Amino acid sequence: MTVPTPLIAGNWKMHGTAATIDEARKVAAQVKGTSPRVAICPPATLIHQLSEALKGSAVLVGAQDCHCESAGAYTGDVSAEMLADAGAKLVILGHSERRAGYGETDALVAKKTAGALRAGLEPIVCVGETIDQRKAGEALAVVTGQVRGSLPPEVAGQAFSVAYEPVWAIGSGLTPAVAEIEEVHAAIRAILRELFGAASDSAPILYGGSVKPSNAAEILHAAEVGGALVGGASLKADDFLGIINAL
């Protein structure tokens, strides 16, 4: 079985201006080698500047969303091709903040994922249950349903990752028990196998939601955890490095 190369991706969300690039430079100065792969996903306004600043380093630049079409009359939107042109190599799609705040459905996330692949971007597709769904015992059903609905057939044979982000763990300081993370990750791996065959074994399954230096080692060493999607703790170089170095 292929073991995925771990990916630690920072999601800056709507934080960061030109001055914040210094934090990314500090990260890049410490990241050597090819495992784990490290990515920073700043707001779209910083993608070009950040990719120029990190040129020659091992840190990749990613985006946080894209439109599914390559161009058109979509005021305010940015296409995957535009993000790639600006220097992005990856893109986060279907984050719960977009699902909840902008009504993004699995079907739309699947279209965006196909768009990202068309443009040569590596998608990080996010899934995760709400606290009510977990309390109702529906976590596995919700997450596996999202994986089925959000990954288009185009993913077969391509580089991509899935990020399991329980909605209630994002920005809350709460995390599931390691056994709960492992249960969900195993279920995601089984669906990927079913949908895309053994080739998908190289796709890492990231955990996201309140990852910080103090809990990173435990989470990152759990079964089928192939890295992390990190929000708040990716904004400060020392915290992000603490997570990267926990692997």
Put residue 157 in one of left, alpha, beta given phi > 0 → left and psi -120 to 50 → alpha: left
Distance CA 46, CA 86 (A): 9
**Binding residue for ligand PGA, selected from 87, 115, 152, 209, defined by CB under 6 A:** 209
Are 225 and 188 in contact by the 8 Å Cβ rule? The answer is no
Nearest 5°: phi and psi at 204?
A: -75, 145
Q: What is the CA radius of gyration of the chain?
A: 17
User: Is position 104 an interface residue for ligand PGA (rule: CB under 6 A)?
Assistant: no
User: Is position 192 an interface residue for ligand PGA (rule: CB under 6 A)?
Assistant: no
Q: How far is the CB of 126 from ligand PGA (least distance, A)?
A: 7
Are 74 and 111 in contact by the 8 Å Cβ rule? The answer is no
Segment 5 to 24, residues that bind ligand PGA, using CB under 6 A: 11
User: Is position 211 an interface residue for ligand PGA (rule: CB under 6 A)?
Assistant: yes
User: Is position 230 an interface residue for ligand PGA (rule: CB under 6 A)?
Assistant: yes
Contacts of 82 (CB under 8 A, 6+ apart): none
Q: How far is the CB of 171 from ligand PGA (least distance, A)?
A: 4
Distance CA 55, CA 217 (A): 29
Q: How far is the CB of 198 from ligand PGA (least distance, A)?
A: 28
**Three-state DSSP class for residue 82:** helix
Query: For ligand PGA, which stretch binds (CB under 6 A), given 27-35, 54-62, 110-118, 163-171?
Result: 163-171
- Polymer length in residues for the chain: 247
Query: For ligand PGA, which stretch binds (CB under 6 A), given 58-66, 109-117, 213-221, 231-239?
Result: 231-239
Nearer to ligand PGA, 109 or 229 (CB): 229
Q: How far is the CB of 194 from ligand PGA (least distance, A)?
A: 26
Q: Which of 95, 97, 104, 185 is catalytic?
A: 95
Are 155 and 113 in contact by the 8 Å Cβ rule? The answer is yes
Torsion sign across C-alpha atoms 90, 68, 166, 154 = negative
Query: For ligand PGA, which stretch binds (CB under 6 A), given 24-32, 48-56, 182-190, 204-212?
Result: 204-212
Q: Which of 81, 122, 165, 224 is catalytic?
A: 165
**Binding residue for ligand PGA, selected from 167, 232, 237, 246, defined by CB under 6 A:** 232
**Binding residue for ligand PGA, selected from 171, 190, 194, 223, defined by CB under 6 A:** 171
User: Is position 62 an interface residue for ligand PGA (rule: CB under 6 A)?
Assistant: no
Active site (annotated) includes residue 165: yes
Using alpha carbons only, give the angle 98, 238, 227 rounded to the nearest 5 degrees: 50
Distance CA 198, CA 204 (A): 13
Residues marked active site are found at 95, 165
Question: Which residues form the interface with ligand PGA (CB under 6 A)?
Answer: 11, 165, 170-171, 208-211, 229-233
